[in-house]
Amino acid sequence: MGNKRVNIKDVAKLAKVSITTVSRVINKFPSVNKRNIQRVEAAVAELKYRPNVSAQRLASGANNAVGLVMPGYPGIFHSFFAIEIIRGVGQACEALKLDMVFHISDGVNPLNASYMGGIIFADIIENRKQLDDALDRHIPCLVINNVVQDVDVSYIAVNNLKGGDIAAKYLTGLGHKRIATITGNVKTQSGFDRFDGFMKGMYDAGVEIPKEYVYRGDYSRRSARQAAEFFFSMKERPTAIFAQSDDMALEVMAVAFEMGIRIPEDVSIIGFDDSPQALYGPVGLTTVRQPVFEMAEKSVRILNEMINGKPELRFRTAMDPDLVIRDSCAAPSA
C-alpha cells in the first residue's frame, strides 16, 4: 500500500467484514465466530497491520496507566532531578486517578507498553528506538527535559541555554573576570545547552575563558571534586566557578572548605537545579532553578488529554529557569 499507513478500515475491507468485527477480533472479544477470526487474522498478517494500542485500551477500558521511562544511571535514587520527576508524575497521576508504571531504561531492551495508556520519556539518552517504536504503535507519548525537533512528538523541556546564560551574566555582573566552569555530561542535551548558554553569556559580556578553566564533568560529585582540586591548585585560580549542577557545586564547596578557601570571599560558586541541599550547610548556594516538578506534573496532564480523546494533540514548550540568589557569590575581592 506504498507509504500509506494501514488502518482498521483497510483490514476490514480485505477481510470482507465490518470494522466492528475487526475491532472485536483485535480486542479478543469471545463473541466473534471462528471463520471471521481467521479472515481478520489473515488480513492483519498480509497488511502487516499494527493496531492502535491506545484505541485498544479505550475499547477494553484499561487505559489508565501512564508509563514513566527514565534512563538509568548510577545514583539515580539519590538524584534530586530524578526524584522530582518521579514526585511530579506521581502526584499528577494521583490527582487524575491514573496508575504510574516506572521503568528504568538501559536503552537496549524493548518496552512492554501493552498495559500503558501513554508514555512519558524523561529525556532521550540512548533510547531513541524505544520512543520510535512507541510512536509507530500509536501510543500517546510525551518527552520531558529534551527539545525534540526531528520527531512529531510533544515535549516539555527546560530552557537550559537560558540557564547557562543567566549564570554567566550574574557572575560577570558581579565583576568576575576569572570564571571557571564544570560542565555536566555534554552528550546530553541539557549538559550541552547549559555549557553553550554559559559560553554565549561570557562572550556577550566580553569575558574570555581560558581552556584550562573549562573542566568536562559528568554531573557526578567525583568529577566535581577532581575539577575543584585542579582549579584550586592553579597559580592564578578562578575567582568564580559555575558548576552545572547543584551536586557538583556542593562538592566544590566541600573541597574549598577542606583547603581553607573561603566562600564567597575567596571564590564564588553557583550551581544549577535548586535542590533542597542548596539551602543547608555553612553557606547557602546561589543556583539556577529549573522547574522540574512543574515540568513533570504538566506532562501527565497533557498526556492524559492525548489518551482521552486528543491523540493528535501536540504540546511543545521550553520552560524558563530563574536565578535564586543566596550567599555563595559576591564581587571578587581586591
Whether 1 shows a pLDDT value over 60: the answer reads no
Task: Please say if the pLDDT value at position 30 is more than 60.
Answer: yes
pTM: 0.77
Residue 23 has pLDDT above 90, yes or no: no
Mean pLDDT of 231-253: 96
At 107-136, the pLDDT tens digits run 777 777 777 889 999 988 778 888 988 888
**CA pair distance 238, 215, nearest whole angstrom:** 12
| pLDDT class of 147 with cuts at 50, 70, 90 | very high
Mean pLDDT within 4-19: 86
Spatial separation of the C-alpha atoms in residues 193 and 150, rounded to whole Å? 17
pLDDT at 245: 94
Q: Do domains 65-158+292-319 and 160-290 have the same CATH topology?
A: yes
What does the pLDDT read at residue 237?
A: 96
Q: What is the mean pLDDT of the chain?
A: 89
What integer pLDDT is reported at residue 75 of this predicted model?
Answer: 67
Alpha helix locations (H) across 174-276?
189-204, 221-232, 246-258
Least confident range of 94-98, 261-265, 296-300: 94-98
pLDDT tens digits, one per residue of 197-239: 999 999 999 999 999 999 999 988 999 999 999 999 999 999 9
User: Mapping DSSP to helix (H, G, I), strand (E, B) and coil, where does residue 291 land?
Assistant: coil
Q: Mind listing the pLDDT tens digit for each residue in 294-331?
A: 999 999 999 999 988 787 888 999 999 999 999 999 99
Cell of 115: 498495559
Percent helix, strand, coil in the chain, to 5, is 45, 15, 40
Superfamily classification of domain 65-158+292-319: Response regulator (3.40.50.2300)
Instruction: Name the band, by pLDDT with cuts 50, 70 and 90, for residue 94.
Output: very high
CATH 3.40.50.2300 describes domain 160-290: yes
Fold for the domain defined by 8-51: 434 Repressor (Amino-terminal Domain) (1.10.260)
pLDDT in the model for residue 202: 98
Q: Is the pLDDT of residue 164 over 90?
A: yes
Each residue's pLDDT tens digit, 39-83: 999 999 998 887 765 555 555 554 678 999 988 766 677 778 889
Distances (CA, A) of 216 to 22, 115, 177, 245: 56, 41, 20, 13
Q: Return the domain boundaries, the chain.
A: 8-51, 65-158+292-319, 160-290
Question: Cα separation of 333 and 175, whole Å?
Answer: 10
**What pLDDT is attached to residue 262?**
97
Residue 141 has pLDDT above 90, yes or no: yes
% of residues, the chain, pLDDT over 70? 94
